[in-house]
Amino acid sequence: MGIVKYFYVYIVQCSDNSYYTGMTNDVDRRVLEHNSEENRGSYTANKRPVELLWSTQLTDFNQAEELEKQIKGWSRKKKEAIITGEWDALKVLAACNNASSHRNLSPEPGPFRHTERSRSVNEKSNETDATNSASFDSAQDDCLLPSWQPFMPSQMAQPYYENLQDYLESRRKEGAIIYPPKDEIFKAFELTPLDKIKVVILGQDPYHGEGQAHGLCFSVREGNKIPPSLRNIYKELNADQGIEIPTSGELTKWAENGVFLLNTILTVEQKSPGAHKGKGWETFTDETIQYISGHKENVVFILWGAFAHKKESLIDETKHLILKAPHPAAEVYAGGKACFFGSKPFSKANAFLDEKVDWRL
């Protein structure tokens, strides 16, 4: 028997259309020859390998064993993203574990990766699988945003996030209308790269009316009526900065100017505020706040209302400025006496920042 130099982790498609993940080495490559008698014998008559879809090469047995274990625990959606090349399994594993033992994982696919065959996987998937993978596919684009590496992929590989996405897809199948659209759920992350963040404003969950939410807290799409909370924010902006009250409720310019507009729950159902509370988004956004706090210096965190105030413990106040005030909606019910008005968050933020925010819209 020869000396083993390389180990291969692979995914094959079986006759029952399922995926099987395994590991072999360069001495016993026959396992990758999916039509071999030895390989057929390790499966049942109704489940045998019919096509090798993906493999990657490593030099360390423990790393290969860990990668095999991780991929085996992943869903079909994640495996398809690996197979098609949308997600590099090795980089994701390294980000998930965040351990030095994985820093030397080779990012290159092994010699058995079948690129053309891999591209055909989605074509072979049934309509249900395509539906299930839709939100995952759109999430991949956000997962790969350069400034949010390795945070995004590390979170998307966690069981809580997988459960969250499964829940959202099950609600869609049941006919629930979910806002914002899939491709805008992570709009805040897209418009405000980590290295550009000056200010973080926390909201609760998206607006639940048709055509309102687009991934930025407190913001509504152009053409929508300005909601009461945002009207009060604009009033305070005018009083604090002398800026004319905007006629549009869209806050994209703020996001592009370094204001990270984060809802603590990123999706909602039509006419059902708080519908996705407790489904996993809070974990994701808590991790986001902690990540920003740990990886940035001198950020202003603006926390409006009791719900946002609870997030104060996630922020390192020795590095950042925390501004707390009542929720702007409170002024609607308090007749302007809730003390949101007069809190001057915009001028206080700029007084703290070296690079000021242009609050004009």
For the annotated catalytic residues, the residue numbers are: 205
Q: Which of 29, 75, 27, 74 is nearest to 52 (CA)?
A: 29
Closest CA to 299 of 251, 357, 233, 229: 357
Segment 147-152 long-range contacts (CB within 8 Å, at least 24 positions apart): 147/193, 147/194, 147/195, 147/196, 148/189, 148/193, 148/194, 149/95, 150/91, 150/94, 150/95, 150/98, 151/95, 151/194, 151/287, 151/288, 151/291, 152/189
Query: Can you tell me whether residue 246 is helix, strand or coil?
Result: coil
**What is the spatial distance between Cα 280 and Cα 293, in angstroms, rounded to a whole number?**
20
- Among 254, 265, 228, 263, which Cα is nearest to 345's? 254
Neighbouring-strand partners of residue 202: 262, 303
- Distance from C-alpha of 120 to C-alpha of 51, rounded to nearest angstrom: 11
Tokens standing for residue 211: 């055509």
Distance separating alpha carbons of residues 47 and 55, to the nearest angstrom = 20
Q: Tell me if 147 sits within 8 A of 194, measured CB to CB.
A: yes
Measured distance CA(293)–CA(133) in Å, rounded = 32
